[in-house]
Amino acid sequence: RAIAADQFEHSNDTRESRHDAVQFEGVHKWFGNFHVLRNINLIVQRGERIVICGPSGSGKSTMIRCVNRLEEHQQGRIVVDGTELTNDVKKIDVIRREVGMVFQHFNLFPHLTILENCTLAPIWMKKIPKKEAEDIAMQYLHRVKIPEQSHKYPGQLSGGQQQRVAIARSLCMNPKIMLFDEPTSALDPEMVKEVLDTMVLLAEEGMTMLCVTHEMGFARQVADRVIFMDCGQIVEANTPDQFFRNPQNERTRLFLGQIL
Ligand code: ADP
Ligand code: MG
């Protein structure tokens, strides 16, 4: 029995079961002389949903873009799913496959159909056969509730629909972590909800999510922690309940006063 238990333990001792999703340790970054990230420390557990808010220019985008190496940090450590981000290009590739990202502007390829947008990376980066990639893409387009749009081009869709395609496209790579950078802030108000609904669904399925957003209703509904950034620092991190009811920092209070 002891041996069996030991083997069981061992078989569970994979990268998967042991590591936090993302770990920032004393991370600093400069753009030239401008100190944009100042000693960022944050551990994101697997399955955790984090909402990041804060004034424009506070470093929110830069911080999450460091997770998939769209930006490079200069000091400290960033570990994603057990792999530290260094200049090792192979490791960067591994991490990029595990981390999906959705931007404010949907960044769909305008000359490709919705289906082609969703199958491009799986076919070329993951070498998944075309037919299989299309089946997977259709499943995700169903999940974001626009399978009937699959043969149209991005320009024929509304902003909300395009953003849902962008989410589906990311999911087709089967990421372990999803980054969202103000995914609803470029949308007309009537389209915000359909995108947030998709994100709520994803959260309920247990996806690890880092979302930069000022949608505080969304934060209340799904976030495990809300983080407030200002001037390149994490000023406050707390459960939504505490964060909104009892913000500890004066800057947080000021910010919430402006947006709520
Ligand atoms: P946020 O997402 O919170 O609005 P950002 O992370 O986009 O903030 O930017 C933080 C600061 O860094 C801003 O002052 C911005 O102008 C500056 N910045 C962002 N990207 C660059 C860049 N590529 N080169 C120089 N400065 C940049
Ligand atoms: Mg930003």
Report which bound ligand comes closest to the CA of 233: 1
The per-residue pLDDT for range 229-256, each reduced to its tens digit, is 999 999 999 999 999 999 999 999 999 9
- Pairing state of beta strands 177-181 and 99-102? parallel
Measured from the Cα of 54, ligand 1's closest atom is 3
Task: Give residue 211 CA to ligand 2 midpoint distance, Å.
Answer: 11
Q: Which residues line ligand 1 (CB under 6 A)?
A: 31, 34, 36, 54, 56-62
Closest residue CA from atom 17 of ligand 1? 57
Q: Which of 16-30, 136-150, 232-246 has the lowest mean pLDDT?
A: 16-30
Which residue's CA is minimally distant from atom 13 of ligand 1? 57
Q: For atom 1 of ligand 1, which residue has the closest CA?
A: 57
61: number of Cβ within 10 Å? 20
Q: Which amino acid is at 12?
A: N
Q: Can you tell me which atom of ligand 1 is nearest the CA of 181?
A: 2
What pLDDT is attached to residue 8? 43
Q: Report pLDDT digits (tens) over 83-134.
A: 999 999 999 999 999 999 999 998 999 999 999 999 999 999 999 999 999 9
Phi, psi for 183 (deg, rounded to 5) = -70, -15
Nearest to 50 by CA among 248, 169, 233, 228: 228
Q: How far is the CA of 56 from the centre of ligand 2 (A)?
A: 7
Which pTM was predicted?
0.92
